Amino acid sequence: MGKRILMAGGAGFLGSHLVDRLLRRNELELLVVVDDFWTGTRENLKHIDDRRMHVVDCSVQEFATHETFDEIIHFASPASPPWYMSDPARTIKANVGGALNLINLIRKGGRISFASTSEVYGDPMITPQPESYRGVVDCTGPRSSYDESKRCTESLLFEMRRTRDLDVRIVRLFNVYGPRTRIDDGRAVSNFIGQALSDGILTVYGDGRQTRSWGYVDDIIDALERYFWLDETSYCGPLNIGNDREIAVIDVAHFIASLVPGSQIKFLPPVPQDPTNRRPDLTLARQVLPGWAAKVEYEEGVRRTFDWFKSKMTLMERIPEP
Ligand code: UDP
């Protein structure tokens, strides 16, 4: 008997990259992708022609079936601040409501893997942040729908492991960028690239000295694939995944501006409660995933993302208005 897998959020930026890896697995019998196409796109799955995959247009919290699955992967959530802030209730429903629904669809002894976030550390007081750090999140702040719903879902899954012996894998993802980010995603790398390729004005919020650790999508997916498919581990998470090279937002803007001569940087007011720094402690990741390391240098990853955006935006310009 082959594996039956449900991938929630499989049309999204990270979800669709993971779907590509899932379909390379010979033992896969059935892959059900559940996505409501809020932030995910059909375009992200367009290249796939595989009869094992079925796409269901439905929210993760409402999805219903009589089937049960060997593995469930829950990636159904917006991840960009402007998107999750635009509909906080929907963000909470997707994460918490989605997990509450999905845990009933796992066969006995099955596994659920979940994409949590470095946002659980809030604006961290220590650097780098190890998994043991409990974080500083404002539960009434503007980022709380995302931060707290990720925290709550972590709690739910760990408690299901304790009380129902569920096999769980939880990763805390630091900033990820790369091809298949929405053009209108709004996060720093994609925004700067889109701006450099359109009006040439890159918007930096605040003074740009806030830092993030930027992980190229292929490196991150390599880590996820290893961790979610690792049978031998008894370590259920949380596991930090990212690239531990920390770079200030202003330096990201300067680098991307340098790719298109004539680009300018415009400073806008700071975003309320924007974390000042973020850097993963990857000690545990290196132990749990021997041989894994982020390999794509930031400059190379940005160039690849830039080329992808350029091809997409050129294509969009060529499509005539209806
Ligand atoms: N940022 C910026 N200009 C933009 C988009 C983002 O200066 O056009 C900043 C943002 O304020 C934050 C950093 O870049 O300090 C990373 O933002 P992003 O939305 O990519 O991720 P997150 O805040 O969730 O880490």
Residues near ligand 1 (Cβ within 6 A): 80-81, 175, 187-188, 191, 203-205, 210, 212, 249, 271, 274
Q: What is the pLDDT of residue 317?
A: 65
CA distances (Å), 296 to each of 27, 178, 299, 305, 311, in order?
29, 11, 8, 12, 21
C-alpha pair distances (Å), 189 with each of 172, 185, 212, 223, 235: 19, 10, 11, 21, 32
Task: Report the separation in Å between the CA atom of 208 and the middle of ligand 1, taken as the mean of its atom positions.
Answer: 9
Determine the pLDDT at residue 318. Answer: 57
**CB burial class (10 A; 0-12, 13-18, 19+) of residue 258?**
exposed
Nearest to 278 by CA among 122, 169, 56: 122
287 Cα to the center of ligand 1, angstroms: 30
Each residue of 29-87: pLDDT tens digit? Answer: 999 999 999 999 999 999 999 999 999 999 999 999 999 999 999 999 999 999 999 99
Question: Of 161, 153, 60, nearest to 110 (Cα)?
Answer: 161
Closest ligand 1 atom to the C-alpha of 177? 20
Q: Which helix (H) or strand (E) holds 112?
A: strand 106-117
Probe target for ligand 1 pocket from 274, 278, 298, with the most ligand atoms within 8 Å of CB: 274
Interval between CA 53 and ligand 1 midpoint (Å): 34
146 and 84 Cβ atoms separated by less than 8 Å: yes
Pocket test for ligand 1, best of 13, 185, 187 (most atoms within 8 A of CB): 187
Active-site amino acid positions: 146
Q: Smallest Cα–Cα separation from 99: which of 149, 35, 173?
A: 149
Measuring from atom 13 of ligand 1, which residue has the nearest CA? 188
pLDDT score, position 315: 64
pLDDT at position 234, please?
A: 79
Give residue 132 CA to ligand 1 midpoint distance, Å: 25
Nearest CA to ligand 1 atom 6: 188
Contact 3, 28 (CB under 8 A): yes
Question: Given this model, what pLDDT does residue 119 score?
Answer: 98
Residue with the smallest CA separation from ligand 1 atom 14 is 188
- What is the atom index within ligand 1 of the atom nearest the CA of 252? 14
Q: In whole angstroms, what is the distance from residue 77 CA to residue 117 CA?
A: 11
As for the ipTM of the complex, it is 0.99
Q: 289 alpha carbon to ligand 1 midpoint, in Å?
A: 29
**Integer CA distances (angstroms), 266 to 29, 111, 200, 269, 280, in order:** 51, 46, 10, 10, 29
Is the CB of residue 183 less than 8 Å from the CB of residue 194? yes
pLDDT tens for the chain, 322 residues long, are: 799 999 999 999 999 999 999 999 999 999 999 999 999 999 999 999 999 999 999 999 999 999 999 999 999 999 999 999 999 999 999 999 999 999 999 999 999 999 999 999 999 999 999 999 999 999 999 999 999 999 999 999 999 999 999 999 999 999 999 999 999 999 999 999 999 999 999 999 999 999 999 999 999 999 999 999 887 777 999 999 999 999 999 999 999 999 999 999 999 999 999 999 999 999 999 999 999 999 999 999 999 999 999 999 876 665 555 4
Q: Which atom of ligand 1 is nearest to the CA of 189?
A: 20
Mean pLDDT, the chain, whole residue set: 96
Q: Confirm if 24 and 48 have CB atoms less than 8 A apart.
A: no
Q: Ligand 1 centroid vs 119 CA: distance in angstroms? A: 13
Atom of ligand 1 nearest to the CA of 79: 24
Among protein residues, the one whose CA lies closest to atom 19 of ligand 1: 187
Q: Which atom of ligand 1 is nearest to the CA of 278?
A: 25
